[in-house]
């Protein structure tokens, strides 16, 4: 089992894991400094006979320093992070050549609609498969999310992708898988008693494997 972030299997893992690591290092240092400082002060300044406490209301210089340092760090992090956020979720960031797949969530299953051989959703050759998401590797995928009943959330840990599916709204989310394999798609928004078992399998395949699967699945669907 993995004791850290799951396998990196999409193009988003680079920025997200990188930013995570950067914040972990910065806050880790701050955490150790603060907790060790706290412990050190507690031991050093415990009550002992013959020593008086300092009477002070503080130092303006120290206060300015420890205000400016976190402020600058935080704003800098915010600016760096925002660039990634725009790439991941910005409405104009979805690549124009992204391959469309429709996902309709309902209690407690995922209905995955494939565009069929013509590669377009909303045409007569579309077909729907329950709880199986097949995607070609190395190609941007845009998922059109909708919901039948309550709010669900599309979550594939290995892709670092999460997006709520909200009834009454059409929401698009995109990603690009990088490692062929089998993953799990889970619901991450409380949707009722079957929330924990609202599962689909995700198959990341090479383009050839995907095409072969598509041909066979389309035939089965039409027969």
Long-range contacts of 43-50 (CB under 8 A, 24+ apart): none
Interacting stretch for another protein, rule CB under 8 A, among 10-18, 121-129, 131-139, 208-216? 10-18
Among 129, 144, 150, 221, binds another protein (CB under 8 A): 150
Q: Which of residues 178-217 bind another protein (CB under 8 A)?
A: 184, 186-197, 199
Distances in whole angstroms, Cα of residue 208 to Cα of each of 45, 101, 170, 179: 70, 18, 30, 15
136 CA to centre of own chain:
19
At residue 177, φ and ψ (nearest 5 deg) are: -75, 145
Site for another protein in 39-68 (CB under 8 A): 41-42, 45-48, 51-58, 62-63, 66-67
Does 16 participate in binding another protein (rule CB under 8 A)? yes
Contact flag: residue 14 with another protein (CB under 8 A): no
Q: Which residue of 113, 153, 176, 205 would you call a contact of another protein, by CB under 8 A?
A: 153
Cβ at position 137, least distance to another protein in Å: 20
Answer yes or no whether residue 140 interacts with another protein by CB under 8 A: no
Angle at 122 between CA 121 and CA 124, to 5 degrees: 105
Contact between 127 and another protein per CB under 8 A: no
Length of the chain: 223
- Given its phi and psi angles, is residue 140 left (phi above 0), alpha (psi -120 to 50 degrees) or beta? beta
């Amino acid at each position: 089992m993995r004791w850290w972030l799951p396998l990196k299997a999409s193009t988003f893992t680079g920025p997200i894991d990188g930013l995570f690591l950067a914040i972990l290092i910065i806050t880790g240092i701050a955490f150790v400094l603060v907790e060790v400082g706290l412990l050190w002060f507690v031991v050093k300044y415990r009550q002992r006979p013959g020593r008086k406490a300092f009477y002070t209301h503080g130092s303006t210089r120290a206060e300015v320093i420890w205000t400016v340092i976190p402020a600058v760090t935080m704003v800098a992090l915010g600016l760096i992070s925002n660039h990634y956020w725009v790439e991941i979720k910005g409405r104009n960031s979805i690549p124009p050549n992204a391959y469309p797949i429709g996902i309709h969530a309902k209690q407690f299953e995922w209905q995955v609609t494939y565009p069929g051989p013509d590669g377009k959703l909303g045409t007569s050759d579309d077909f729907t498969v329950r709880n199986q998401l097949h995607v070609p590797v190395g190609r941007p995928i845009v998922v059109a999310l909708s919901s039948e009943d309550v709010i669900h959330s599309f979550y594939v840990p290995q892709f670092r992708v999460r997006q709520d599916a909200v009834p009454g709204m059409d929401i698009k989310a995109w990603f690009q898988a990088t490692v062929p394999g089998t993953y799990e798609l889970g619901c991450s928004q409380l949707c009722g008693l079957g929330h924990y078992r609202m599962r689909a399998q995700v198959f990341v395949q090479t383009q050839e494997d995907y095409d072969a699967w598509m041909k066979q699945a389309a035939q089965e669907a039409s027969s």
